Amino acid sequence: MPAEKPPTLTDVARLAGVSVPTASRALNPGVRGEQSGSPVLRRRVLDAARALGYSVNPAAQATKGGRSRTVALVVSDIEDFGSATMISGVMHAAEKRGVSVAVRTTLDDPLRELELLTTLRGERHRAVVIATGRTTDEHRERALGAQLKTLAEHGTRIVIVGDSSLGFPSVTVDNHEAARLLADALAKAGKKRFAVLSAPEIEITSRDRVLGFLDGLAANDIVVRPEDIVHRAFSRDGGYAAIDHLKDRIADLDVIAAMSDAMAVGAIARLRELGVETPRDVEVTGFDHVPMLGDVLPRFSTVEVPLEAFGEAALSLALDNDETEADAHIALRATPIVHGAPIDR
């Protein structure tokens, strides 16, 4: 007796009373995930597939149309607190849409960044999300823009996380305003003597945070001396190294304002090695809002950047609308937290 013929998509569509394309979309929701079709229709098709014992061939679906059902996320440092949170957000958003995430890290190396983008062309991702932080280096940005343009011409959707003039959809927060509000609140709390730790001035996010912070202090007639604005790597190790530049003046400071929570962690570690306790001897503040810091330092001041929400916003621009304009932009809100309490704007 010949083996029974396995059920087909046509059989499922017939039993569910829908067209074959409709059945296909219900069983293979693609980039729109659970937004494909009505819940009632999807349930009818799924019940029919279950009754017939029909299952989707994931290998065939993975390369449908010659393009994989993946998105690539490019970050500077996979071990960075902010990057880790953003990766989590992108993965959650991708899972909802039935796609997978391939994470690539540049190690903050411009040449590696370009090489990775060349490699991504061959991997044929549906979308590439660039979350490496843009710079004021015109040569670097032009080279990156050229690579992204080539990817886009090959059918890959591009989204930039952060302020950019590269001409692709983007997701940002107003770093300048959030930093200004944080500085203003600290000054109004009685702090007068500040040092600032930040990344090299070439990095736009860092630059905007520093300028906003200084503007907030200036509105309260507080000026930070140039030698007390220290530029190091935007990382735990950068914050650690920056303290050595300040160690002869720490006793003269009320606040060491790090422009990332990662830098704040490094600064606190080095201060403790020097016998300086925070906030007893000097207050250290951050930016990004890493939850564990709030657990250890309940009155820690920082800015809550919705890093996980970047994932949903970026993938909505990349995957949810085939007609997304090149200048499409989603602005998320950052919330200053002073001594453990959010600031109401």
Phi, psi for 327 (deg, rounded to 5): -95, 15
Supply the pLDDT for residue 56: 65
Of 51 and 178, more confident: 178
Name the amino acid, one letter, at 205.
T
Residue ending a domain, among 17, 39, 56, is: 56
Same domain for 229 and 179, yes or no, is: yes
51-55, 143-147, 227-231: range with highest mean pLDDT: 227-231
The pTM of this model reads: 0.77
Q: Tell me, what CATH number does 301's domain have?
A: 3.40.50.2300
- Mean pLDDT along residues 30-57: 73
Averaged pLDDT for residues 160-186 = 93
Please tell me the total count of domains within the chain: 3
Q: Are 139 and 161 in contact (CB under 8 A)?
A: no
Residue 1 within any structural domain of the chain: no
Q: What is the CATH number of the domain that holds 18?
A: 1.10.260
Q: Are residues 82 and 137 in the same domain?
A: yes
Query: Is 29's pLDDT higher than 70?
Result: no
239 and 194 within one domain:
yes
Identify the CA nearest to 258 among candidates 291, 235, 225, 226: 235
Higher-pLDDT residue of 154, 271: 271
Of the candidate ranges 1-10, 30-39, 41-50, 277-286, the one whose mean pLDDT is the lowest: 30-39
**Comparing C-alpha atoms, which of 166, 157, 196 is closest to residue 73?**
157
Other Cβ atoms less than 10 A from the Cβ of 323: the count is: 5
Statement to judge: residues 124 and 201 lie in one domain? no
User: What are 89-129's pLDDT values in tens digits?
Assistant: 999 999 998 899 999 999 888 899 999 998 888 888 999 99
Q: Quote the pLDDT of residue 13.
A: 87
The rounded percent of the chain whose pLDDT value lies above 90 is 57
Q: Are residues 214 and 156 in the same domain?
A: no
Whether 107 is in a domain gets the answer: yes
Same domain, 233 and 285: yes
Residues 83 and 181 in one domain: no
The end-to-end CA distance of the chain, in Å, is 76
Structural domain containing residue 19: 9-56
Q: Are residues 187 and 269 in the same domain?
A: yes
Q: Which residue has 């090149």 as its token pair? A: 326
Same domain, 256 and 225: yes
> What confidence score (pLDDT) does residue 283 get?
96
Strand (E) or helix (H) holding 269:
helix 261-273
Residues 235 and 197 both lie in one domain: yes
**Are 259 and 295 in a shared domain?**
yes
Segment 235-267, tens digit of pLDDT: 899 999 999 999 999 999 999 999 999 999 999
**Residue listed under structure tokens 């305003």:** 177
